[in-house]
Amino acid sequence: MTIERILEVIKSKHPETDLTMVALAYEVAEKAHAGQKRASGEDYVQHPLETAYKLAEMDIDIPTVIAGLLHDVPEETSHTIEEIKKDFGREIADMVAGITKLGTIKYRGLERYAENLRKMFVAMAEDVRVVFIKFADRIHNLKTLYALRPVKQQRIAKETLEIYAPIANRLGMNELQNEMEDLAFPYVYPEEYKWTVEISKKQYEERERDAETVIKKIKQVLKESGLNDFDIYGRAKHYYSLYLKLLRKEMDIDRIYDLVALRIIVKTTDECYRVLGLIHSLSKPMTGRVKDYIAQPKPNGYQSLHTTVYYDNKIVEFQIRTKEMEAEAEWGIAAHWSFKERSGRHAKIPVDPEKLKWIKTLLKQGDEVRKPEEYLDKLKMDFFKSRIFVFTPKGDVIDLPEGSTPIDFAYHIHTYIGDHATAAKINGKLETLSAKLKSGDMVELTVDKKRTRPAEEWLEFVQTNLAKEKIRQALKKNEGLSGIFKFFNN
């Protein structure tokens, strides 16, 4: 990697941008890291270069790219944060300081690990761009894992799957999530990785050929309908994502319909719906496989129309979205820091505070939980497990861990509703309170004011730590009241 390639990527998107400070940051990094080598044998400066290149690919703002070039300087060299502040300003120095404070998050005892994770969430709450740099840094580290000892390879890769990739998912950064997962997959589950690659190879080839045929036909239909400014291409499913889906589909790859999904990018939201109509006029949609994430976005901001259709005796999935939705889907919250020309200057797009609310919840939980193993369990269960989203009868979106039940849903809404829940309807049909919810379900709860306490057996099936804690609290309180009544009755 060279600084020229980074400058070229930025210039290709923003020809008028002054890149003097980016070039200067490279000179500082190159001088500071002179003579240092990575475990892979390459010059150390290649690491900040690769980190900055990934950030430039994301079309991130210039201060973040500069911070990416300098992110290891205070930690690995004699160059200080104060010197960076003097040369590049407070904004960049603060980002570099945020990365430096994190150090290396390692499994060196649960207590230290939990504290370092908490530091990362503090840094994210102060400036979420710090985690963009951390992701770019982690991706290059994963690419050079081959140079490390097997024990270290396993630790870094496992940590990526359990911590970093889920954070990227919560921030809507699907491109980085998928890249990190695919790089870590062969180190954590080597046999499963080999099996997934082998079983999917022939299927990928066949479906890519089928996709080319469908693309030609759809292009023709869209042009005949008057649409000219659009893009259509096939997108192969990532290996780790495929593996997780195979686990849910009894390892039957014939039940994976989005192995190669066709993505159509248009100019406006109206055109998205127009294209959906055209596709359905050509081919019959599968029941229950038409999803409108434009009208009801996912909690991480993802928007798109999805439909799976029977086309020429084959099953094909389409994803239809605008260019803005595509940027949000690929880079998530990072898209808000991309360069947008506004009134003659570059500025960031305001971020909805609700999208970062969960970070503050993480910090609050860290304050409430004393034992590090409990804190880590909470993170993995309530925040880093695969997510689903379900709806209230009013159409509000509720974000829950996969495997959640109506009782988890109830306690997420309000403690009173959880404590007094007696029945649940899922999509209008009466179901048990232990039923597993799926993304897109509409949940309606019945409560009984006369109910005195939650059922103890709920603890056997609820998924979220929030629900477990509220149930235990209610049961304990009820036991206390029972003891008081017993005392006075005697």
> What's the confidence (pLDDT) of residue 349?
47
Per residue in 8-34, pLDDT (tens digit) is: 999 998 888 889 999 999 999 999 999
pLDDT at 357: 64
Does the structure show a pLDDT above 60 at 176? yes
End-to-end CA distance of the chain: 81
Computed from CA positions of residues 341, 347, 348, 353, in that sequence, does the dihedral angle turn out positive or negative? negative
Could you tell me which of 223, 145, 224, 205 has the C-alpha nearest to residue 180?
A: 145
At position 405, the amino acid (one-letter code) is T
Q: How confident is the model at residue 55 (pLDDT cuts 50, 70, 90)?
A: very high
pLDDT number for residue 467: 87
Buried b (16+ CB within 10 A) or exposed e, 292-304: bbbeebbbbbbbb
Give the percent of the chain with pLDDT over 90.
38
pLDDT at 394: 80
Beta pairing, strands 260-266 & 397-401: unpaired
Pick the CATH number of 191-347 from 1.25.10.10, 2.30.40.10, 3.30.365.10, 3.30.460.10: 3.30.460.10
Query: Per-residue pLDDT for 336 more than 70?
Result: no
List b or e across 170-200, with b for residues whose CB sees 16 or more CB atoms inside 10 angstroms: bbbbbbbbbbbbbbbbbbbbeebbeebeeeb
pLDDT above 90 (res 337): no
What mean pLDDT comes out for the span 75-87?
88
CB atoms within 10 A of CB 418: 25
58-69 burial by CB neighbour count: b if 16+ within 10 A, else e? bbbbbbbbbbbb
- What pLDDT does residue 450 have? 83
Report residue 396: phi and psi, to 5°: -70, 140
Mean pLDDT value of segment 362-386: 61
User: pLDDT > 70: what percent of the chain?
Assistant: 82
The whole-number pLDDT of residue 7 equals 94
pLDDT at 486: 47
Q: Residue 460 to residues 81, 233, 448, 478, 487: CA-CA distances in angstroms? A: 51, 46, 22, 19, 31
User: Contact at 8 Å (CB) between 10 and 338?
Assistant: no
Residue corresponding to tokens 């290649």: 46
Where does the pLDDT of residue 346 fall: very low under 50, low under 70, confident under 90, or very high at 90 and above? very low
Domain with CATH 3.10.20.30 in the chain: 385-489
Residue 484's pLDDT is what? Answer: 44
How many Cβ atoms from other residues are within 10 Å of residue 92's Cβ?
A: 23
| Residue 230 pLDDT > 90 | yes
336: left (phi over 0), alpha (psi -120 to 50) or beta: alpha
Domain 385-489 has CATH 3.10.20.30: yes
- Report the distance separating Cα 123 and Cα 332, nearest Å: 18
C-alpha to C-alpha distance for 153 and 147, rounded to whole angstroms:
9
Identify the pLDDT of residue 269. Answer: 95
Distances (CA, A) of 206 to 33, 103, 235: 48, 46, 14
Largest CA distance in the chain: 87
Which position has the higher pLDDT, 124 or 145?
145
What mean pLDDT do residues 409-422 have?
90
Q: What secondary structure, in 3-state letters, does the chain show?
A: CCHHHHHHHHHHHCCCCCCHHHHHHHHHHHHHCCCCECCCCCECCHHHHHHHHHHHHCCECHHHHHHHHHCCHHHHCCCCHHHHHHHHCHHHHHHHHHHHHHCCCCCCCHHHHHHHHHHHHHHHHHCCHHHHHHHHHHHHHHHCHHHCCHHHHHHHHHHHHHHHHHHHHHCCCHHHHHHHHHHHHHHHCHHHHHHHHHHHHHHHHHHHHHHHHHHHHHHHHHHHCCCCCCEEEEEECCHHHHHHHHHHCCCCHHHCCCCEEEEEEECCHHHHHHHHHHHHHHCEECCCCCEECCCCCCCCCCCCEEEEEEECCEEEEEEEEEHHHHHHHHHHHHHHHECEEECCEEECCCCCHHHHHHHHHHHHHHHHCCCHHHHHHHHHHHHCCCEEEEECCCCCEEEEECCCCHHHHHHHHCHHHHHHEEEEEECCEEECCCCCCCCCCEEEEEECCCCCCCCHHHHHCCCCHHHHHHHHHHHHHHHHHHHHHHHHHC
Which two structure tokens, joined as six digits, stand for 187? 């180190």
pLDDT in tens, 370-381: 566 666 666 665
The answer, yes or no, to whether residue 438 has pLDDT greater than 90, is no
Q: What are phi and psi of 230, to 5 degrees?
A: -150, 165
> In the structure encoding, which two tokens stand for residue 15, read together?
């020809």
Superfamily of domain 3-188: Hypothetical protein af1432 (1.10.3210.10)
- Calculate the CA dihedral of residues 399, 434, 250, 284 and round it to 10 degrees: -60
Residues near 281 by Cβ (< 8 Å), separated by ≥ 6? none
Kindly report, residue by residue over 185-227, the tens digit of the pLDDT.
999 999 999 998 988 888 888 888 888 888 999 999 999 999 9
- Reply yes or no on whether the pLDDT at 285 is more than 80: yes
